[in-house]
């Protein structure tokens, strides 16, 4: 059985009078991660009707009960979108010609489940569609308090941080000391998305060396670890299913070639979406030079989602030569590209990951190895927040170790929703 994943809940029974107040809470919208290429067949929280669709619901959430006045937001990533139509419970509710595609629908006091369908049209007809199902609510409902989990890296002057216990840690959430209810030290199962830049800049043996690093990482997997590979250029060119079999993952990398530009933000966005809801310690390892010239999404869009994600992001940054000549694209000028790289660095740091610089892809094996070693020594601390308002507020979290000479690196907080 795999280790407990990040989304665990404490269920608290609510009296009928309180539940009646609960169902009057306003609807909130949380961004879901779009895909840049077809999904593999699996359980998908976005419930896309067509696996090839690039139409996505940003609101409402799939786990959200909706009623009264509901705000719906849809994103269509196709080129040449002329119109997006919204259907609710098989009835057309609106049309939008310009992004952002937002609709306001009124559902009254119908607290039952609903079906939202968005269809994008171009000059030659339908381009794609997506369906979002929302659940109903019972009168004797329950309040769910989500278990917050922190992946904590501890460094020490003497190089060893093993042997710590829950009593050695202190967690403060919005300044309040928290009770640690779950604790793991290096044994949590890993769920890893490995993103490798397969653009034309990785030609000449660079891609093969990068893939060798990924294969070395797969060989270090333990029982119940799982991983998937995302090879991207200006599109997502190859994506394997999540697998616990290192040989199966390695075989999937054979005969891969490098071509095209780089759409790194889009690939990161997709990987975070794929990890959403999966069990285990969720990790993204990105190998790229960081020069993104083709993404539809800005890094700030990815940061917004990363703040709502539980994924730790590591960036193996290829610093081979001088990339300052690549300063413009269809989307950004020189200052824009500088801001994108700065934003990526901030994203990695905020996720509690780190940047591993290498001067040549031949160092990829070493880089992947250092990341795996760090993941094996991380502590996983879980707690139920003492203040849980479900109001979209940013909770600043601080962790310290009550031993001299030790430093802590972990995520700085989370969105309460």
pLDDT of amino acid 330: 64
Count CB neighbours of 122 within 10 A: 15
The residue ranking higher by pLDDT, 147 or 169, is 169
Dig out the tokens for 19 from the structure: 């539940």
Does residue 401 register a pLDDT over 90?
A: yes
Q: Are strands 142-146 and 9-13 parallel, antiparallel or unpaired?
A: antiparallel
Residue whose C-alpha is closest to residue 381's, from 352, 350, 347, 416: 352
Model confidence at 289, pLDDT cuts 50, 70, 90, reads confident
Tell me, yes or no, if the two domains 24-134 and 190-377 fold the same way: no
Q: Tens digits of per-residue pLDDT, 185-216? A: 877 899 999 999 999 888 878 889 999 999 99
pLDDT of 292 higher than 80 = yes
Please tell me the distance from the alpha carbon of residue 238 to that of residue 232, in angstroms, as a whole number: 7
Q: Would strands 355-358 and 312-318 be described as parallel, antiparallel, or unpaired?
A: parallel
Integer Cα distance of 258 and 356 in angstroms: 22
Rounded to the nearest 5°, which phi and psi values hold at 63?
-100, 15
- State the DSSP string of 282-312: EEEEEEE----SS-SS-HHHHHHHHTT---E
Write out pLDDT tens, residues 295-342.
888 899 999 889 888 899 999 998 876 554 455 666 677 787 788 889
- 134 pLDDT exceeds 50? yes
CA–CA–CA angle 128, 132, 134 (5° rounding): 170
Look at residue 252 in the predicted model and tell me its pLDDT: 78
Amino acid 137: pLDDT: 67
The full set of domain ranges for the chain reads 24-134, 142-186+378-415, 190-377
Query: What average pLDDT score do residues 11-26 get?
Result: 34
User: If residue 246 lies in a helix (H) or strand (E), which one and from where to where?
Assistant: helix 246-251
With a cut of 70, say whether residue 17 has pLDDT above it. Answer: no
- Whether 41 shows a pLDDT value over 70: the answer reads no
24-134: CATH topology is Immunoglobulin-like (2.60.40)
Least confident of 159-163, 180-184, 323-327, 392-396: 323-327
Measuring CA to CA, how many Å separate 149 from each of 216, 382, 383? 28, 4, 7
Q: Could you count the other beta carbons within 10 Å of the beta carbon of residue 52? A: 10
What pLDDT does residue 167 have?
94
CB atoms within 10 A of CB 393: 14
For residues 163-179, give the mean pLDDT.
94
Is 30 a residue whose pLDDT tops 50?
A: no
pLDDT tens, residue by residue, 46-72: 343 334 578 999 999 888 888 888 999
Exposed, middle or buried by CB within 10 Å (0-12, 13-18, 19+), for 87? middle
Report how far apart, in Å, the C-alpha atoms of 403 and of each of 154, 335, 381, 400, 409 are.
11, 44, 17, 9, 15
- Which 3 state secondary structure label does DSSP give 206? helix
16: Cα within 13 Å, side-chain hemisphere: 1
What's the confidence (pLDDT) of residue 327?
56
What is the per-residue pLDDT across 332-375, written as a single tens digit (0 to 9) for each? Answer: 777 877 888 899 999 999 999 999 999 988 899 999 999 999 99
Query: Are the C-beta atoms of 209 and 367 separated by less than 8 Å?
Result: no
pLDDT score recorded for residue 201: 84
- Number of Cβ within 10 Å of residue 20's Cβ equals 12
Report pLDDT for 144.
58
Whether 414 shows a pLDDT value over 50: the answer reads yes
Confidence of residue 45 (pLDDT cuts 50, 70, 90): very low
Average of per-residue pLDDT values in the chain: 82
Which CATH number is 190-377's, of 3.40.50.12640, 3.40.190.170, 3.50.50.60, 3.40.50.410?
A: 3.40.50.410
Would the pLDDT of 388 be above 90? no
Q: Which of 159, 157, 154 is nearest to 186 (CA)?
A: 154
Mean pLDDT of 279-306: 88
Whether the pLDDT of residue 222 is over 50: the answer is yes
* Distance between CA atoms of residues 416 and 61, nearest Å: 14
């Amino acid at each position: 059985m795999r280790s407990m994943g990040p989304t665990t809940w404490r269920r608290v029974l609510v009296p009928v009078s309180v539940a009646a107040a609960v169902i009057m809470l306003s609807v909130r919208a949380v961004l879901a991660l779009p895909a840049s290429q077809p999904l593999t067949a699996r359980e998908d929280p976005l419930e896309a009707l067509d696996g090839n669709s690039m139409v996505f619901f940003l609101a409402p959430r799939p786990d959200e009960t909706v009623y009264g006045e509901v705000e719906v937001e849809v994103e269509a990533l196709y080129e040449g979108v002329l119109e997006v139509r919204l259907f609710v419970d098989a009835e057309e509710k609106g049309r939008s010609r310009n992004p952002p595609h937002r609709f306001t629908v009124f559902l009254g006091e119908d607290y039952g489940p609903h079906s939202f369908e968005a269809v994008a049209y171009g000059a030659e007809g339908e381009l794609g569609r997506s369906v979002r199902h929302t659940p109903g609510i019972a009168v004797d409902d329950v309040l769910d308090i989500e278990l917050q989990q922190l992946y904590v890296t501890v460094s020490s002057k003497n190089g060893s941080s093993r042997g710590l216990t829950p009593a050695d840690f202190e967690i403060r959430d919005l300044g309040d000391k928290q009770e640690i209810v779950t604790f793991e030290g290096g044994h949590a199962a890993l769920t890893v998305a490995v993103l490798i830049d397969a653009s034309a800049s990785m030609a000449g043996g660079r891609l093969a060396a990068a893939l060798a690093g990924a294969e070395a990482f797969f060989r270090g997997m333990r029982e119940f670890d799982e991983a998937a590979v995302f090879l991207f250029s200006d599109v997502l060119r190859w994506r394997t299913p999540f697998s616990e079999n290192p040989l199966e993952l390695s075989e999937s990398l054979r005969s891969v070639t490098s071509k095209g530009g780089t759409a790194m933000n889009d690939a990161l966005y997709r990987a975070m979406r794929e990890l959403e809801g999966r069990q285990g310690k969720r990790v993204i390892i990105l190998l790229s030079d960081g020069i993104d010239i083709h993404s539809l999404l800005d890094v700030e869009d990815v940061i917004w989602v990363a703040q709502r994600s539980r994924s730790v992001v590591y960036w193996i940054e290829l610093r081979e030569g001088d990339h300052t000549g690549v300063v413009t694209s269809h989307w950004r000028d020189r200052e824009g590209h500088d801001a994108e790289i700065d934003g990526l660095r901030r994203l990695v740091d905020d996720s509690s990951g780190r940047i591993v610089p290498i001067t040549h892809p031949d160092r990829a094996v070493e880089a992947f190895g250092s990341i795996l070693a760090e993941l094996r020594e991380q502590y996983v601390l879980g707690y139920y927040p003492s203040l849980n308002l479900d109001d979209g507020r940013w909770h600043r979290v601080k962790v310290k170790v009550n031993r001299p000479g030790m430093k802590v690196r972990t995520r700085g907080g989370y969105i309460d929703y």
